[in-house]
Amino acid sequence: MTSQAASTTGPKRRRWLRRLMAAVVVVLLAPAAITLLYRFVPPPITPLMVIRYADGMALEKEWRAMDAIAPDLPRLVIAAEDNLFCHHAGFDEAALAAQIEALRAGQTARGASTITMQLAKNLFLWPERSFLRKGLEAWLTLYLELLLPKQRIMELYLNVVEWGPGLYGAQAASQAHFGVDADALSSEQASQLAAVLPNPLAWNAGQPGNATRQRAALYRERLIQLGAGYLDCLEG
């Protein structure tokens, strides 16, 4: 290599390295900055809301603080979606291990997502399943657990989660399905909302079928069985 070629290659390499380092800094710090912002500020919109709206769905949402949501709703969501929410650091290791074993055995793996993982997807990512999305979801879950208290994670989740076509958050869902504000939900209504979370576009909390009613009843029973120790992170 001539001295002239070497003198040209050197600056190009340094520029490439600077750009790479800048990209790494953005990838590392941008999610942290946004997460810290969401510790104090309601998210204005999420990628899923944009995607659904582009597909022609409505967009109904109204922020409600935790103390303006019926206490049974977050408790029943824990009973339905993530029993260990108050006790894990974002990942249910036993459930993840079971899913890995199912995949190795050639079986269809069922979801092992925690509420924090679902929030990471809802706040930052797209809905389609892929290994890339799951990897990003796991990375963002770490940020949420490190930078937010559990109560705020639940508050964010209850305000951005999809609860029907064009319905996001507890207030919009309560009004649309039951004609009441989120703080006036009965235990039965809250359990029906929890029961449709796995597939809110196909299942209707306000007009539940037999299967949805049975799941809702199961979650009410499970809530009693869990006891206060499994819900203590919602206090304070």
Q: Which domains does the chain have, with CATH numbers?
A: 39-234 (1.10.3810.10)
- % pLDDT > 90, the chain: 67
Report the pLDDT value the prediction gives residue 131, as an integer from 0 to 100.
Answer: 85
In the chain, the N- to C-terminal Cα span, in Å, equals 67
SS3 assignment, position 165: coil
Give the global pTM.
Answer: 0.86
Query: Rounded mean pLDDT of the chain?
Result: 87
Residue 117 has pLDDT above 80, yes or no: yes
Closest CA to 65 of 73, 57, 54: 73
Looking at residues 53-82, what average pLDDT do you find?
96
Residue 104 has pLDDT above 70, yes or no: no
Closest CA to 183 of 63, 72, 68: 68
Residue 162: its H or E element: strand 162-164
CB 35 within 8 A of CB 144: yes
Q: Which has the higher per-residue pLDDT, 49 or 110?
A: 49
Band of pLDDT at residue 172, cut at 50, 70 and 90: very high
